[in-house]
């Protein structure tokens, strides 16, 4: 399968490299030429526009930041959809609103192609190791066609249902992660008040039944959320806000997990 990849950041870059190393003919495009420099000599081709990239691809992977970025890359006279051939697939790896993916899936289908949502979790290290989690929503046939490419950087790849299901699962994951940060931070603070430092208590809990990824991030931050707030607070606020909106639209009460996630955002000085 010919693959086009857009979004060569700290996570997308290692993903693209894994695709190239797996032997898939790969075309890259980036807004900044500097983003392409690490791929010189890898065998990847470079395109001048997203449309040109799409014309050379059976599968176009988008690993950009948010809803507006996805729309901009897909739309317009030089966007992906302008060059996409019928029967092609677009995979949205960004974490965006499920409705954005549903809307863009309709636009893509009108051109005879398929858009699937495939947000990822695991960061650049997971991508480099080939152990990302990919949460996919979309038609089963398109998901299975894209799976060999996803398998180059992910394990597992989980198909969750129709378009938008992948995004919903990713937002729920990020909601729980955000909530776990508050409980981890509060537990370490209580331990300190009772005479056990956060590093030693973190060492104990990380080997016990209460271990979590969130706990590890808090411990590595010295028992505070300051470092995490600086580089992820805005994104976590966005994701918690999106899942809260989805729950309200569905007429359901998220309960304690949303209240606890809001407590984390307040600790980070990034309240909704």
Catalytic residue ranges = 170
Name the residue with tokens 């983003």.
35
Chain centre distance of CA 45: 24
Element (DSSP H or E) covering residue 156: strand 154-161
Q: How far is Cα 197 from Cα 202, in angstroms, rounded to an integer?
A: 8
Q: How far is Cα 61 from Cα 39, in angstroms, rounded to an integer?
A: 16
Length reported for the chain: 272
Pairing of strands 89-92, 120-121: unpaired
Q: How far is Cα 64 from Cα 52, in angstroms, rounded to an integer?
A: 18
Q: Write out the DSSP string of 205-254.
A: HTTSTT--HHHHHHHHTTTSSHHHHHHHHHHHHHHHHHHHHHHHHHT---
SS3 70: helix
Q: How far is Cα 77 from Cα 243, in angstroms, rounded to an integer?
A: 33
Q: How far is Cα 267 from Cα 263, in angstroms, rounded to an integer?
A: 6
Element (DSSP H or E) covering residue 133: strand 132-137
Question: First and final CA of the chain: distance in angstroms?
Answer: 42
């Amino acid at each position: 399968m010919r693959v086009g990849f857009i979004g060569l950041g700290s996570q997308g870059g290692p993903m693209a490299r894994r695709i190239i190393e797996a032997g898939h003919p790969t075309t890259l495009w980036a807004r900044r030429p500097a983003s392409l420099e690490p791929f010189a000599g890898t065998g990847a081709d470079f395109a001048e526009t997203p449309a040109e990239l799409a014309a050379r691809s059976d599968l176009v992977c988008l690993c950009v930041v948010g809803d507006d970025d996805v729309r901009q890359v897909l739309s317009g006279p030089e966007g992906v959809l302008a060059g996409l051939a019928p029967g092609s697939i677009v995979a949205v790896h960004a974490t965006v609103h499920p409705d954005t993916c549903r809307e863009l899936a309709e636009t893509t289908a009108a051109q005879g192609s398929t858009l699937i949502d495939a947000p990822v979790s695991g960061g650049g290290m997971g991508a480099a190791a080939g152990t990302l989690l990919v949460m996919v929503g979309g038609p089963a046939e398109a998901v299975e066609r894209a799976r060999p490419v996803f398998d180059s950087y992910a394990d597992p790849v989980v198909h969750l249902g129709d378009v938008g299901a992948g995004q919903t699962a990713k937002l729920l994951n990020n909601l729980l992660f955000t909530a776990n940060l508050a409980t981890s931070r509060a537990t370490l603070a209580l331990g300190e008040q009772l005479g056990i430092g956060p590093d030693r208590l973190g060492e104990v809990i990380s080997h016990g039944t209460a271990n979590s990824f969130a706990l590890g991030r808090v411990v590595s931050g010295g028992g505070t959320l300051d470092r995490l707030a600086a580089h992820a607070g805005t994104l976590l606020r966005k994701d918690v806000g999106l899942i809260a909106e989805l729950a309200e639209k569905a007429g359901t009460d998220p309960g304690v997990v949303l209240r606890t996630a809001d407590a984390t955002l307040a600790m980070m000085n990034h309240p909704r």
